[in-house]
Structure 1
Amino acid sequence: MMETISLEIVENIADIRLNRPKKRNAINLELMLSLITAAKQLKANKQLRAIVLSGNGEAFCAGMDFGIFTDMLSGKITADSTGFEDLSEQGANKGQQMGWLWQEIPVPVIAAVHGAALGAGLNIALGADIRIVTPDAKLGLLEITWGFLPDTSATQSLQRLANLDRIKELIFTGRLFSGQEAYEYGLATELADSPHERALEMATTIAGQNPDAIRRAKDMLNKLSFLSVEEGLALEAEHCRSLLGSPNQLEAAAARFEKRAPRFSDPQYLS
């Protein structure tokens, strides 16, 4: 894989790690593009069951590499030269894709956060479905301290996770907060002293479920906030109707009755 990230897939679980440990995994252009490429590859993987996203070294991700800012100030790189403004089908630029593509992947993405998760680094973690964080992790939406505001899809992720007044306070002040606080605010799903180990454990549990049901569940839950009650109930009924009596659903039921591990085939639902 690219030098700025590492990617290993074992038993249909992808273990992807930011890999600039000497820079606390700060995001340069190469890392940004590598994450986007990897996310698109994982999105197309029909055998995949779950993803664990973490960082090598002492931090998850310390945010943007200062080198990007100096290169922008000097004119060495521009939005045009990097293709930064090349939009996805959803209208996301490259920075936004880096944070949002994890939501578009049809299987659960679990972020394992330790050390620092700052600015764009935190925004990447917010794009995951689940975040497991050390209690003493240092997190922050620091963009305001640079005269900017959260980008890389953070505004879309935050509104689904925490109360609006708390989101405003964290954005307006740019203050640091701990993993424990993140858990209290709803920005962390679970606290763990060894988040990567716990994330792999959770991914293994998820990978043992009906892959069609998991994919349909993520699709449904991601859409619910945009639907009326009537539309949401219709979507739920549609997914349940499609699952009932399907090969993997029948295998799940048989395994339960026979008290054995299920033997699922690759999912038919690939959305």
Structure 2
Amino acid sequence: MEKDLIKLSIEDGIAHVCLNRPSKINALSYDMFVAIDKVIKKLRGDKGVNAVILSGAEGNFCSGLDVKSVANSPSKAMKLLFKWLPGNANLAQRVSIGWQRLPIPVIAVLEGCCYGGGTQIALGADIRIASPDCKLSIMEAKWGLVPDMAGLVALRQVMPKDKALLLTYTADILTAGQALELGLISQVCETPYETAVTLARKIMLTSPDANAAIKRCINQSWTGSIRCLLARESLSQIRLLAGKNRVIAAIRQTKNPDKAYQSRQSWW
């Protein structure tokens, strides 16, 4: 197994996660899928992490699936796709939807290549900040495949169906400007990583419990019924009102703006 496929460091409550296979333009081998999945599980259990910045090493985010490495091992391909129930997420899907399911804001920094599986992973983030040279593509159709890494969960939330079909049918490569116009990314700037750090620090000025509740309510209710949305909002608000971070938020607004929040509550 290759070493250090994912670099993880945690500084001042921000987890910096870097896809680290630069010799292959950070292409996804089976071991890399496993490593990403492990990092997501680790971050879920760390109540002191209040934001995540996801990036790729040496000027590229991810060039997609390393088809050769996976095709050479049918057993690993099966492990990627295996699931106990059809509605569950398999390993290939967890590396995308796993970021959405974290109770923490996740910001993806996209540079250079962001193709196929790389775009699917990026779609799992809450916010995507790209450099002007970034190129993105939903490329699976080029290989006779359907996008099957759960990126469509987010894609249906960020753009109209006809645009999503057009991108997926054609496997066109988009510039950062085109991706921004379509809603595939959130922002284009010359210094995406520094911008992501600034944004993460700004988000962390608010309660980690409130951020977790906001993310859950928006993600789970975006395409759900109004009744489910109303119920989820009410339950989240009751939990927030009963928590200490809500009191701390009020103190920060009225008396002491530097009072520290407590770690995120376990129910998120």
* TM-score, normalisation: structure 2: 0.92
- Code of the residue aligned with 1:121 in structure 2: it is G
Count of residue pairs brought into register by the alignment: 267
Q: 1:142 to 1:89 in 2, by over 3 A?
A: closer
Residue 65 (1) aligns with residue 66 (2): yes
Shift of 1:226: 4.2
Q: Select which of 116, 127, 130 maps to 1:130.
A: 127
Query: Considering only aligned residues, what root-mean-square deviation do their CA atoms show, in Å?
Result: 2.0
Which string of whole-angstrom CA distances, capped at 9 and with x for unpartnered residues, describes residues 108-153 of structure 1?
1110001010000110000111111123311101111111121111
SS of the residue aligned with 2:129? strand
For 1:146-225, list aligned pairs within 5 A: 146-225=143-222
Alpha-carbon distance between aligned partners in 2 of 1:190 and 1:123, rounded to the nearest angstrom:
17
Residue identity over aligned pairs, in percent, reads 31
Match of 1:43 in 2: 44
- Code of the residue aligned with 1:255 in structure 2: it is R
Residue 29 (1) aligns with residue 26 (2): no
Alpha-carbon distance between aligned partners in 1 of 2:167 and 2:86, rounded to the nearest angstrom:
30
Q: 1:234 to 1:69 in 2, by over 3 A?
A: closer
8 Å CA contact 1:116, 1:138 repeated in 2:
yes
Match of 1:270 in 2: 267
8 Å CA contact 1:212, 1:269 repeated in 2:
no
Which string of whole-angstrom CA distances, capped at 9 and with x for unpartnered residues, describes residues 162-183 of structure 1?
1100000001111100111111
Alignment gaps of 5+ in structure 1: none
- Code of the residue aligned with 2:64 in structure 1: it is G
Match of 1:144 in 2: 141
- Code of the residue aligned with 1:85 in structure 2: it is F
Alpha-carbon distance between aligned partners in 2 of 1:132 and 1:212, rounded to the nearest angstrom:
24
Match of 2:53 in 1: 52
Alpha-carbon distance between aligned partners in 1 of 2:256 and 2:86, rounded to the nearest angstrom:
44
For 1:110-125, list aligned pairs within 5 A: 110-125=107-122
8 Å CA contact 2:71, 2:77 repeated in 1:
no
Q: 1:201 to 1:270 in 2, by over 3 A?
A: farther
* TM-score, normalisation: structure 1: 0.92
Q: 1:262 to 1:21 in 2, by over 3 A?
A: same
